[in-house]
Amino acid sequence: MAAAPRILVAPLDWGLGHATRCVPIIEEIRRQGGAVAVGAAGGALAYLKAEFPGLEFVNLPAYNIRYYWENMFWNIGVQAPGLLRAIWREHRQLQQVIRRLNIDAVISDSRFGCFSPHIPSIFVTHQLHIQIPSPPLQGLANRLNHWFIRQYGECWIPDVPGPGSLSGTLSFPWNPAGESGPSGKIRHIGILSRLQPEEGEKEYDILALLSGPEPQRSRLESALIGQLSALPYRVLLAQGLPGREKRCRPAPHIEVVSFLNARELRHALGRSALVICRPGYSTAMDMAAMGKKALFIPTPGQTEQEYLARRLQRLGYCPCQNQNELDVKKGVLDAGSYAGFPKYDREEARLIAAVKSLMGRIAPWPG
């Protein structure tokens, strides 16, 4: 009897979104008879250990991106040397992991160095067209982004193609300035969310979900608690810090928890009237899966989130505010005039077909 194909799933540790959207991928691989190992770092590793305690885990280098300034170019530019070192280290470490664990294929969610010429390598991203205000820098960033993606045999986009796309311009596989997109096969795998709609009696007026790199995560937490303490809303605030155990009440009507697992989050979302959160793409997919009303507050200087917030506001789904101009009272009133997210069809057949195709290309290890 042939051994189950062993697939390494490696999400980026840039907030929790890359890890959370890998949950449906991991579940589908296991449904189709594959064995999964996880390579990650930081909060992404802690989250997946909590969701899948029976899997094998590998510590990969952390990217450790932080957002000090409201300028994407400077934030990434000053950290680029460390980022490139992490990519190089993970690429070398991956080759050792493949041999040691008999890995048959690797699925990298935005980890640029997790590819191998010897086994099928998949890159998962919704961002083929990086948004930077400066056209020359945008062209340079996209050429580098596409170079890395070309090292993989296939690129999976967690979205649906055409006018129903959630990510919009971000997932266009080309650059308007004329630079060609990544070569190789590009496959849309549908909206990825580990959540299923769940409705119940409303327990909270506001569910605040924090995520993303420091120090901006902590700054938003402080600002939200400061304003919400003076407002008459029942609030549950999740700090987005897996692996910690904290519950407190900074005010009688505000409950703070370190983290919500998938079951707890689904329960809280179904019983909350409004969600305040970052417009990370994985969060947007969760809001779409649940059909929620939201107020989006982009991470300062994170151009992808700023683009998504503006796009979703134009579509009439939800309002957005700048973090340095936060006005929760106004945001709650504004959100009431928006339709909220329609419940997107996740088109699960796309993910099923993608995993089936990958499993069919796996060559078993000798012996």
Residue 98 shares a structural domain with residue 217 = no
| Close Cβ partners of 292 (under 8 Å, ≥ 6 residues apart) | 269, 272, 275, 340, 341
Residue 241 pLDDT more than 80? Answer: yes
More confident residue, 73 or 166: 166
> Could you tell me if 162 and 75 lie in one domain?
yes
Rounded mean pLDDT of 271-278? 96
CA distances from 243 to 51, 139, 256 (A): 11, 39, 15
> Does 130 fall in a domain?
yes
pLDDT value at residue 211: 87
Position 79 in a domain: yes
Q: Based on the domain organization, do 188 and 283 belong to the same domain?
A: no
Q: What is the pLDDT of residues 145-155, one digit of tens each?
A: 889 999 999 99
Strand pairing class (105-109; 272-277): unpaired
The residue segments making up the domain with residue 62 are: 6-192+346-361
Judged against a pLDDT cut of 60, whether residue 70 lies above it is answered with no
23 and 150 within one domain: yes
Greater model confidence, 66 or 249: 249
Task: Kindly state whether residues 158 and 275 are assigned to the same domain.
Answer: no
Tell me the average pLDDT of the chain. Answer: 88
Residue 236 lies in a domain: yes
| pLDDT of residue 112 exceeding 90 | yes
8 Å CB contact between 344 and 167:
no
What is the CATH number for 294?
3.40.50.2000
Residue 13 lies in a domain: yes
pLDDT digits (tens, 9 = 90+) for 13-68: 987 889 999 999 999 999 999 999 999 999 899 999 999 999 999 999 988 766 55
Task: Note whether 165 and 223 are same-domain residues.
Answer: no
Q: Are residues 355 and 330 in the same domain?
A: no
My answer on whether 217 and 327 are in the same domain is yes
**Count of structural domains within the chain:** 2
Residue 366 is assigned to a structural domain of this protein: no
Report which residue type is found at 291.
G
Same domain, 175 and 246: no
Q: Is residue 1 domain-resident?
A: no
pLDDT at 346: 74
What's the whole-model pTM score? 0.87
pLDDT at 74 over 60: no
Classify residue 198: in a domain, yes or no.
Answer: no
- Residue 199 domain flag: no
Judgement on whether residues 16 and 143 belong to the same structural domain of the protein = yes
Q: Are residues 183 and 245 in the same domain?
A: no
